[in-house]
Amino acid sequence: MHRAENVNAPWLGGFVIGAAAGLVAFAVLVVLGDFDLFPAAAMAAVVATVVGLILGLPWGSAEPAVYLDRSDKASGAGHHAAPAAAVVAEAVVAPAAVMSAPVVAAPVMSAPVGEGPLRLSAPRNGVADNLKELEGVGPAMEKLANELGFYHFDQIAAWTDADVALVDAEMKGFKGRITRDKWVAQARIIVTDGLEAFRERAKTNNY
């Protein structure tokens, strides 16, 4: 079973040695110094007190009492047990520093995914454009375009020839329709001139 002791406690052996030194001083004063008993006893008491204090007290230690584990003394380790407060502080500081960093939520809309046209994970403000306004686009094709990340006319208006080829390869069952129906030209008119102007031009296929 482990026991702890205070290594800063006064050393009783030092006071025993001090008492012995006092007796020796008393004998020397009486026998060799021819002192009377009372003065010799007083001086011997002073000597005993001074020697006892010097040897018995833990001088120079301003630290609080440190406790040793007897199992460490027996094994020759001689290590001091870590104060409990230091252990608790070390365990708490690291998690607190990690948790202090702010958490930023990811936006709903995505940036361009890899190479190719801009794709969105959801329509802006939760409302998609009616892509069926484009000639040749019906409900099934609009649904497929949305599934590919295209919800707005300005997305289609920004397509390059390379973008058209890339998206066309993904249009299951509708390949070639983007170019044949002139999606990009129609979308650019809507973005530039507005939906009403586009509808007037669409009456004569003027795009």
Q: Tokens 């299951």 appear where?
A: 172
One pLDDT digit (tens) per residue for the chain, 207 residues: 545 445 556 667 767 887 888 788 777 877 777 777 777 788 878 877 887 777 767 665 444 444 444 444 444 444 444 444 444 444 444 444 434 444 444 344 444 445 799 999 999 999 999 999 999 999 999 999 999 999 999 999 999 999 999 999 999 888 999 999 999 999 999 999 999 999 999 999 888
CB half-sphere exposure, 14, CA atoms < 13 A: 14
- Domain boundaries of the chain, sorted by first residue: 4-79, 124-202
- What is the SS3 assignment for 45? helix
**pTM for the model:** 0.46
Look up residue 12 and give its DSSP letter. H
